[in-house]
Structure 1
Amino acid sequence: MRSLQASPDNSLHHADIGEWWRIDPRDIIATGPIPLDADDLAFDFETAQRWATRRADLAAALAALPIFGGSLPADDQADAVTAIPDVTGQDTPAAALAYADAGMYLIPTSADDIKNPGSILGKGWQDKTSRNRAQIRKWFSDDPGAGIAWDVGRSGAIAFDLDCDDKPADMSDAVWTALQTGAIHTTRQGGSARAHYVFACKPDEFGNGAGAFGRWGEVRCSNGVIVLAPTPHPDADTKGGSYRWRKSGELPPLPDVLRGLLSSAAQNDDPKTPAELTKFLGAHMRDDQPRGLQGHLTSFAAAVERGESRHDSMTKIMAWAFRESLIGRFGAQTAYDALKLAFYRAKPETRGTGEFDRIARWAAAQAEIADPNETRQRVSRDTYADPFESIRSDLAAFWSSSPQLSDLRQFAQARLVGPMSMLGNSLARVVASIPPNVVLPPIVGGVASLNLFVALVGKSGESKSASMRASADWLRIEPNYQPSKPGSGEGLAKCFAYKSKLAGGSGWVQVGKQWSVLAQIPEVDTLAATGNRSGSTIMSTLREGWSGERLGQDYAGDDKRIILQDNRYRLCLSLGVQPLRAAPIFDDADGGTPQRFVWFSAVDHDLPDVEPAAPPVLDLGRWEDGTSSTSGTNSAALVDPDIDRNANLAVPADPAEFDILTVPAIAEREIKDVQRAIRRGLGGVDPLDGHRLLVQLKVAAALMALEGRRHEITESDWQRAAVVMAMSNITRKAVRDELASKSRELNLARGRAEGEREIIKSDVIAEDRQRVFRMAERLRDKLKTDDGQTLSKLRKNLAAGNANRDIFDKAVVFAADNGMVRREDFTATNGQESTRIWLA
C-alpha cells in the first residue's frame, strides 16, 4: 500500500485537489487511527470523517469522494489515464507537467542511470511516484537533467515492450494488428518496430509477467516503469536509441487478443526469472551427444545469412536446444554460452540490452513443459538418420545404372569399404589413364582439362586408405604408374620429370619420367604440413594443376627448372580427409581449393550384415585401345605413346592434336546460363557454380570412361554426375559443420580461460550482475523466516569463506537501493557498531 503524501505547503490549491481526489480512500485511512482492516473497507465512516475534519487539507478531498457521499468519479476511473499528450518540441520539465496533467504518475531518473527508477529517489520509489505539479516542479528544479519515468500500472495503463526491429515471424497477424491500435512510444530512430505499445486497463491490473508475449519482449504494468520522451536515450550514439511518441492521443482499452496472451501465462508461456534460468542451466549438465549442438548453431548462422530475423531465429532454435538439454544431449549451460556467443556476434551492438537472456528465459520455460518423449523421437530421427536420405532414391538409381557401378559397389561391400570413397578413388584412377590431349570443349574460354581431385572423408579407421587399395585391386588401367606423394609445388613437378646434365657439361636437359601422376595422400595432415611450410607453393600449384595450366618456376636455375606445358600432363589427386583436420583445405577457400574437390564419404549406411561375393575385376586397358585418336603428337605410330608424351612435357601443345569430347546439349546450356548470369552480375547466382558445373562435367567424363566409352559424354552421364555432386555437397557441408562446431568449442574454452574477447567480457559482467541479483533474492528469503538479522550473521550464512563475500556485499547494497530491504545501524552490547537488515 502506498503512503499518503501531504501537499508541500500544507495548503489546498486547485491543482492539489486534482491530485488528492484521485487518492484511494484506503490510503487516507491507513494514515489515521482506525483500528480496523482498511483493505476490506471494514471501518466506521463516521469515525473516519470526524478524524479527517481535524485535517483541513483533507476535508474537502474526502467530502468529494463517493465513498463519503461525494459525486466525483469512482476511483478506478479517476486513477486511469485516458490519453497521451503530444509533447513534441517540449523540454523535459514541460513534458513532465503535461504528462501529469493527463493523469500519469511519474518519477525522475538520473541522467547517469536513466533506466533505474530508484536512481534519484532511492529505495521505496514505488511509493513516491506522483502527478502533483508542485512536486514535479521541485524534482526538475533540483535536478534539471533528470529523465522522466512513468509508473505505468498505477496510472491505469499497460505497456508491451517489443524487443524486435521487425514483426516477429512467429507473431500472428491478429497480435501484430492489435499492437498497432495502441499508443506507440518508440525506442529507436527510424521505422523500427522496437517500441512500447500502450493500452488502458484498470490500475495495477496486471503484474509484469509477459506471458505468451515473453518470446518477443516484456510487459510493464504494476510497479512497471518505462522512460518517456523527450528523455535522451542512453544508447543514442551506439544503437540509434531515441524516445519519441510515434502515436499519441486517446489510449484505447487493452484488446482481447493481447489480454489472452497475458492470461495464458499460467498454462504455458511465463518466462523464467533470472534466478530460475540460472537454476535451469545448472540442473541440466549431461552431454551424451555434445556435437548435437552444432546443428542449432549452423541453423542460426544460415538463417542470419539469409537475412531472417536474428531474434525470431534464436527464439525457435533456443527452445529446441533447451529441450534437447533436458534429455541430456548436451549441457544447457553449454548451449546457452554457444548460442549467446553466436547471437551477439551476429549483431555486436545489441550487447548489454538483455535481449538474449529474455529469449533464454522464455525458451527454458517452454522446454520444461514440452513432452520429452517427443523430443527424444525427433532427436533420434535427426541423430541416426542417413545424411544422404534426401538423395537416397537417386543414389539407388545411380548404383544400378550400369554393370560397372553395380560391380564397384558390390566389390566395396565385399572388402568392407565405403562404396562412395571407392568410387571417388576409382574415378581419379580412370582419369589418370586418359591422355592429356583428351579435353573438354571450349564452352567458356578455352578447352578444359579432365584433371580430377577427390577427397575421401572419414574418421580414423573408416577405410579411407583401404578404399584406395580396394580400387587398385578391382580396377586395372594402363599405364598404371605408382601413386606419388608430392611434398611441395616444386616436388609435384619433379614427379613428372627431372633435369639431367648434358654430356660435356654444356647445359641441362629435362627428362620426362611419366606424363600422368596420381597423387595419393592418405591423410590431409601431410598436405597441411606442406602448405604451412615457409615458402611452400603446394596449394597454388595444385589449383593450377587441376586446370591443366602450365606448371614450373621460371625463376629457378637451369638445373632445377622443370616445365610442364598446358594440357601436356595428367594430374589427379586422391586425398584422405579426417573432418576435424580439414581446416587447411577450407582455409584456402578464397583460392577455390575446396570447390575443386569432389567429396566422397567413407561411410556406408547400407552395408549388409554379410558381405557379398567379390565381382570380377574391371580391366579398362589403354585409352588408345578403344579410340582412333592420336597420341597427342605428330610422332610415328611405332613410337611408344608413353615415351612420346614424357618427352614432350615441356613442348607447347598443338591445338590440332586435341581430342575434344562431345558433351550433351543440356550440359552446355546449363553451363552457359550460369556464366551469363555471373557476367551480368545478376543477384542470387553463386559464382562458385561456375566451378561446380565444370567439376560435374569432369565427373561425367570419368563415368563415361569407367564404362569403357571414349568420345561422347551422354545426357545420362551428366545427370548421374549431378547425383555425385549432390552427394559431394552433403559430404563437404558435414565436414565444414564439424569444423565450425570444433572451432566454437575452442573459442568458448579459450574465452573461459582468458576472460574471452570483448563479447565474453561483457557476458562475464552480466553474469556477475546475475549472481548479485540471486544473492539479493537469497537475502530476502533469509529475512522472510527471521527478519532483522545482523549483517554479520547473514554474511556468515550466505557467504561462508571469501569466495562469495564480494557478491554478498554488492547484493546488500543492491537490495537496499532497490527497496528490497532496509538497513538499521545500531551499537551492539559490546560497544561495536553493527547493522541489522530488515525486509522493506
Structure 2
Amino acid sequence: MSEFESFDVARVLQLFADRPIFGGTAHADDDPPPWADATWAIPDVAGLSAHDAALAYAKAGVFIVPTDPTDVKNPGSLLGNRWQDRSSIDADRIAGWWTDHPNAGIAADVGRSGLIAFDLDCDERPAEMTDDVWSALQTGAIHATRATGARAHYVFSCQPDEFGNGAGVFGRWGEVRCSNGVIILAPTQHPDAKTKRGRYGWRRTGDVPPLPDVLRALLSAAGNNDDPKTPAELLTFLAAHTGNDAPSGLQGHLTAFAKAIERGQSRHDEMTKVMAWAFREAIIGRFPAQSAYDALKLAFYRAKPETKGTGEFDRIARWAAAQAETADPETTRRRVNRASDDETFWSARPALADMRQFARARRVGPWAMLGHVLARTVSAIPPHVVLPPLVGSHASLNLFVALVGRSGAGKGGAAGAAADWLGTDPEAFLATLGSGEGMAKVFAYKHRANGNSGPWTQTGLRVSVLFDAPEVDNLAALTSRNASTLLPQLRSAYSGEELGFSYADPAKAVKLCAHRYRLCLTIGVQPGRGRALLDDADGGTPQRFVWLPTDDANAPERAPSMPPGFDLPRWPDPPANGRIVSGAEPVAMLATPVELGALHLLDVPDAARTTIDAHRLAMLRGGVVDPLDGHRLLCRLKIAAALMALDGRTDAVTEDDWALSETVMAVADSTRRSVVDVLVTNAEAENLRRGRSEGVRADAAEQIKTDRAVSRVAENLLRKLKASGGEMARADLRKMFASRDRPFFDDAEAALFDSGRIDKAPSDNTGPEGFVLRLADQDASK
C-alpha cells in the first residue's frame, strides 16, 4: 500500500509538502513548486547495515524499493509490477520491509526522488567523450559499480521525473536512469562481486548538484541522435534486415575491430563505431543484421570475456540500430560503392597495383603514397605543358596534396615510400614551404652583373620545386603573420600565374612568369588542426587541394612482398622553335613571358569538356550550382593528367584517365569532409566549454554583487537597531529600507542571526514578519 492509500491524511499532506511525489501536484499559487529549488544530499552510509542505510537514504529524500537478493537488480522482485507506486520514504514502512527481508537489496526510485543517474558502462573514460562531458560527470555524486575504474552512476538533481530513461547521445557509453528508473545502492552486495570485481560504493556523497547544461544537452539532443531501441525493438530490427548480397563485407568490420583492439583502442568505443556501420550496411542488404550482431558479439566478448552477461554489448547494439535507421541509405551505398571503386582503381593499371603493393609492403597508406607519387610525377613534367583553355586561359598542372592523418599515422613514411618507388628525370627538388615572398627565391635569385657595378640581373636555379609542409601548423604560423601573402601566392601558383613582387629594391624583385615554373605542394594535416586551410574556403584554397587519407583500413595481416620500383620516362624536350632564344635553357627563361606557341597543350576527353562546360554555363546563367565545384573539376583534370603521365603517355588525357580521377576525387571529398566534421565537433565542444565558463564567471560576478549588497544591508540593519534602542519590530525595521535593498533583507537578517549578532523573538503579531529583532549583548554594548 502506497502513502496515498493510507488513511493518515496528515502524513499524506506532509509528503506532498516535503518531497516531490510522482503524480502529485504543487499548490496552485506556487510557481515554481515548493520543491523546485530543493537541495539534495547523499548520506554517508559506510559501515551501515542495509536496514540503517535504507532509512538514511529515505531521510535524505530518496524513495526506496527493496529487492530480492537473488534478483537484486529487479525493482519488482519483492514489490511486484507496480513497484513504482510503492517506493517510499516512510521510515516505518521501510523498517517493516527490512524486518521481513533483512538481506534485501536497496534500489533508489531515481526519477521520483528528483534525481537522474548516468550509468557509465566503460572501464575507462571513453576516448570519444569530450572533456566537457567527462568533467561534468565528475561534479555529480558518484556511486561506483566496480572496485576501480570509471564504471559508476553519476548522479544529479533535476525536476521529478523530468526525463525518461532514453540516453540520447550518452547511449553510446551507457544508460540514463530517471522516471521509473532505479539504481542499486550501497551497501547492497553486487551480484558480480566474485566474478567481475563488482562493488557498490559511494566515492562522493553530500550535496547533489543540479544537472549540468552540458549533460542536459546530451539528453535534449536525442532528437538528432535517436534514443537506443528497446530490447524488443532490437529483435524486430534484426529480423527485418535479412539481405545477403555481399556477405563477405562483414569481415571488414570484424577485421577493423580486431586491429583497433590490437592497437590498444577502447573496446567499447570501437564497437560503437563498427556496429553502427555494420547495421547501416545490413539495412542496404549486404549481409543479415542478425549475422552482424552474432559475429560482432562474439568478437566483443572474446576481447574481454569477463564482461559477458553485463548487457554492455546489447546496449551498444540497441544504440547502433537506432543510429543506422536514421542514416541515409544512399550515403551508405556511396561509401560501400567507393570501396568497390577503390579496388577497380588500384587494379586498373599495373603501375597502380604495384604502387599499392609497395605501400602495403612498407606499411604506409596507399592513398597517401599515391598523393606523393602524383605530386612527384607532375613535378617532372615541364611547366610549358598545360591544360587547354576550357574556361578562361590555359591551366597549369601544378598540384597541391593534403595528407590527412593523426600524429604518427605515417605521413612522412608515405613520402619516403613514394621517393623510393618512383624514379623521375629530373629528380624532384624538395624545399620546405616558407613565406609567400620566399617561394620565388627558391627558383631564382638576383645579383649584379660584373661584380657590384653592373645592373641587377636574375639567375635561375631550377624550374620545378616540390614544396612540403609536414604539419599544417607550419602553414598556420606562416599565414598568421601580419600582411602574409602566402595563401594568395599559393592560389596564383596553383593556376601557374606570374609570381613575384614589384619591390623598390631590385635585389628582392625575383620574377617567375606564367607557365615558366612548376610548383607542387604536399602538406600534412591532423584532422583536428585543418582550420588553417579550411578557413580560407571563401578564397578557394581548400578546394585546390587533393585531400587523401594516411590510413589503410584493409591493410593485410602480413605485409606483401616488395615489388620493384617504377621509373617514369623523361618528358620529351620541347622543339627548338618552342624556345624564346635558340639554345636557351628553361631555367634561363623564368622571367621571360612565354609565347602561346611554346605551350604544349594536352588534349582532354569529350567527357571532361562536357562536364566542365556544363558547370561553367550554369554559372554564367545564374543557375543553382556551387561555384567552388569549378575548382574541383580542375583539380580532377590535373589528377587525370598525372595518371596519364604515370601511364607513360605525353599526348592526351583519355576517358580512362578521367574516369580513374573521379575515384581519387571521391576519396578526396570524403577525406576533406571528415576533417570538417572533426572541426565542427571540436568547435561545438569548445562552445559548450566556453559557454559553461562564461556562465560560471557570470554567476560568480552576480554572487559577489549579492554578497556585497547583503553585507551592506546587514551593517545598515545593525545601525538602525542601535538607533532605535536595540530593539524593533521586524516589519517596521524592514520598511525602513529602500526598495532596492529589501530583496537582501532576509539574507542579511539570517547572516546576523547565525553569527549571533542579533536575536529574534516572536511578537504578538502573526505571519512571517511577526517577530522582534534585538541586538545581541555584544553589539548592544558597543
Task: Kindly indicate whether residue 587 of structure 2 is the aligned counterpart of residue 739 of structure 1.
Answer: no
Pairs within 5 Å for 1:415-434: 415-434=362-381
Task: Kindly indicate whether residue 58 of structure 2 is the aligned counterpart of residue 118 of structure 1.
Answer: no
Provide, for residues 92-112 of structure 1, a one-character-per-residue CA deviation record: whole Å limited to 9, x for no partner: xxxxxxxxxxxxxxxxxxxxx
Q: Taking structure 1 as reference, are residues 326 and 282 closer, same or farther at Cα in structure 2, changes over 3 Å only? A: closer
SS in 1 for 2:116: helix
* Partner in structure 2 of residue 505 of structure 1: 453
Q: 1:654 aligns with which of 595, 612, 615?
A: 595
* Partner in structure 1 of residue 423 of structure 2: 476
Q: Taking structure 1 as reference, are residues 670 and 365 closer, same or farther at Cα in structure 2, changes over 3 Å only? A: closer
* Partner in structure 1 of residue 579 of structure 2: 633
Contact 2:371 2:401 in 1 (8 A): yes
Q: CA deviation at 1:709?
A: 0.9
Q: 1:440 aligns with which of 387, 395, 418?
A: 387
Task: Kindly indicate whether residue 647 of structure 2 is the aligned counterpart of residue 707 of structure 1.
Answer: yes
Q: 1:397 aligns with which of 344, 347, 367?
A: 344
Q: 2:128 aligns with which of 291, 300, 304?
A: 291
Q: Taking structure 1 as reference, are residues 701 and 120 closer, same or farther at Cα in structure 2, changes over 3 Å only? A: closer
* Partner in structure 2 of residue 454 of structure 1: 401
Q: Taking structure 1 as reference, are residues 752 and 687 closer, same or farther at Cα in structure 2, changes over 3 Å only? A: same
Q: Name the CA distance, whole Å, in 1 between partners of 2:632 and 2:313.
A: 42
* Partner in structure 2 of residue 526 of structure 1: 474
SS in 2 for 1:609: coil
Provide, for residues 588-640 of structure 1, a one-character-per-residue CA deviation record: whole Å limited to 9, x for no partner: 11211111100111101121121112111111131117xx766952444xx4x
Q: Name the CA distance, whole Å, in 1 between partners of 2:669 and 2:225.
A: 36
Amino acid at match of 1:654: E
Amino acid at match of 1:692: R
Q: Name the CA distance, whole Å, in 2 between partners of 1:740 and 1:652.
A: 45
Contact 1:588 1:594 in 2 (8 A): yes
Q: CA deviation at 1:118?
A: 2.9
Q: 2:495 aligns with which of 526, 541, 547?
A: 547
Provide, for residues 249-300 of structure 1, a one-character-per-residue CA deviation record: whole Å limited to 9, x for no partner: xxxxxxxxxxxxxxxxxxxxxxx97975x51458789874453789x9xxxx
* Partner in structure 2 of residue 678 of structure 1: 619
* Partner in structure 2 of residue 485 of structure 1: 432
Amino acid at match of 2:593: P
* Partner in structure 2 of residue 572 of structure 1: 520
Pairs within 5 Å for 1:170-569: 279-281=116-118, 288-291=125-128, 320-326=168-174, 337=213, 373-377=313-317, 389-503=336-450, 505-569=453-517
Q: CA deviation at 1:673?
A: 0.9
Contact 1:499 1:511 in 2 (8 A): yes
Q: CA deviation at 1:483?
A: 0.3
Q: CA deviation at 1:743?
A: 2.2
Q: Taking structure 1 as reference, are residues 826 and 319 closer, same or farther at Cα in structure 2, changes over 3 Å only? A: same
Q: Taking structure 1 as reference, are residues 565 and 324 closer, same or farther at Cα in structure 2, changes over 3 Å only? A: same
Provide, for residues 150-172 of structure 1, a one-character-per-residue CA deviation record: whole Å limited to 9, x for no partner: xxxxxxxxxxxxxxxxxxxxxxx
* Partner in structure 1 of residue 559 of structure 2: 611
Q: Taking structure 1 as reference, are residues 362 and 707 closer, same or farther at Cα in structure 2, changes over 3 Å only? A: closer
Q: Taking structure 1 as reference, are residues 284 and 415 closer, same or farther at Cα in structure 2, changes over 3 Å only? A: closer
Q: Taking structure 1 as reference, are residues 691 and 460 closer, same or farther at Cα in structure 2, changes over 3 Å only? A: same
Q: Name the CA distance, whole Å, in 2 between partners of 1:500 and 1:481.
A: 26
Q: Taking structure 1 as reference, are residues 432 and 119 closer, same or farther at Cα in structure 2, changes over 3 Å only? A: same
Contact 2:536 2:542 in 1 (8 A): yes
Task: Kindly indicate whether residue 631 of structure 2 is the aligned counterpart of residue 691 of structure 1.
Answer: yes
Root-mean-square deviation over aligned CA pairs: 4.8
Q: Taking structure 1 as reference, are residues 756 and 736 closer, same or farther at Cα in structure 2, changes over 3 Å only? A: farther
Task: Provide the identity percentage.
Answer: 40
Contact 1:413 1:612 in 2 (8 A): yes
Q: TM-score, normalised by structure 2?
A: 0.53
Q: Name the CA distance, whole Å, in 2 between partners of 1:274 and 1:677.
A: 61
* Partner in structure 2 of residue 595 of structure 1: 543
Contact 1:453 1:573 in 2 (8 A): yes
Q: Taking structure 1 as reference, are residues 441 and 368 closer, same or farther at Cα in structure 2, changes over 3 Å only? A: same
SS in 2 for 1:517: strand
Contact 1:323 1:368 in 2 (8 A): no
Q: Taking structure 1 as reference, are residues 367 and 536 closer, same or farther at Cα in structure 2, changes over 3 Å only? A: farther
Q: Taking structure 1 as reference, are residues 319 and 700 closer, same or farther at Cα in structure 2, changes over 3 Å only? A: farther
Q: Taking structure 1 as reference, are residues 689 and 824 closer, same or farther at Cα in structure 2, changes over 3 Å only? A: same
Contact 1:420 1:601 in 2 (8 A): yes
Q: CA deviation at 1:701?
A: 0.5
Q: Name the CA distance, whole Å, in 1 between partners of 2:608 and 2:211.
A: 45
Provide, for residues 308-365 of structure 1, a one-character-per-residue CA deviation record: whole Å limited to 9, x for no partner: xxxxxxx9xx96524224269xxxx9998569779xxxxxxxxxxxxx9597899779
Contact 1:323 1:367 in 2 (8 A): no
Q: Name the CA distance, whole Å, in 2 between partners of 1:452 and 1:754.
A: 45
Amino acid at match of 2:610: R
- Worse overlay, 372-381 or 552-561: 372-381
Q: Name the CA distance, whole Å, in 2 between partners of 1:596 and 1:460.
A: 23
Q: CA deviation at 1:555?
A: 3.4
Q: Taking structure 1 as reference, are residues 358 and 630 closer, same or farther at Cα in structure 2, changes over 3 Å only? A: closer
Q: Taking structure 1 as reference, are residues 274 and 366 closer, same or farther at Cα in structure 2, changes over 3 Å only? A: farther
SS in 2 for 1:700: helix
Contact 1:750 1:756 in 2 (8 A): no
Q: Name the CA distance, whole Å, in 1 between partners of 2:217 and 2:122.
A: 19
Q: Taking structure 1 as reference, are residues 274 and 282 closer, same or farther at Cα in structure 2, changes over 3 Å only? A: farther
Q: Name the CA distance, whole Å, in 2 between partners of 1:421 and 1:469.
A: 11
Q: Name the CA distance, whole Å, in 1 between partners of 2:461 and 2:545.
A: 26
Q: Taking structure 1 as reference, are residues 292 and 709 closer, same or farther at Cα in structure 2, changes over 3 Å only? A: farther
Amino acid at match of 1:652: P
Amino acid at match of 1:645: P
Q: Name the CA distance, whole Å, in 2 between partners of 1:274 and 1:283.
A: 21
Q: Taking structure 1 as reference, are residues 357 and 489 closer, same or farther at Cα in structure 2, changes over 3 Å only? A: closer
SS in 1 for 2:607: helix
Q: CA deviation at 1:651?
A: 0.8
Contact 1:322 1:364 in 2 (8 A): no
Q: Name the CA distance, whole Å, in 1 between partners of 2:334 and 2:674.
A: 9
Q: Name the CA distance, whole Å, in 1 between partners of 2:542 and 2:316.
A: 35
Contact 1:428 1:518 in 2 (8 A): yes
Structure 2's unaligned 5+ residue stretches are 1-6, 10-26, 35-109, 134-162, 177-208, 235-311, 325-331, 704-745, 751-766, 777-782
Contact 1:408 1:423 in 2 (8 A): yes
Q: Name the CA distance, whole Å, in 1 between partners of 2:547 and 2:224.
A: 41
Number of residue pairs the alignment of both structures matches? 473
Q: CA deviation at 1:531?
A: 1.2
Q: Name the CA distance, whole Å, in 2 between partners of 1:362 and 1:273.
A: 22
Q: Taking structure 1 as reference, are residues 572 and 631 closer, same or farther at Cα in structure 2, changes over 3 Å only? A: farther
Q: 1:663 aligns with which of 604, 607, 610?
A: 604
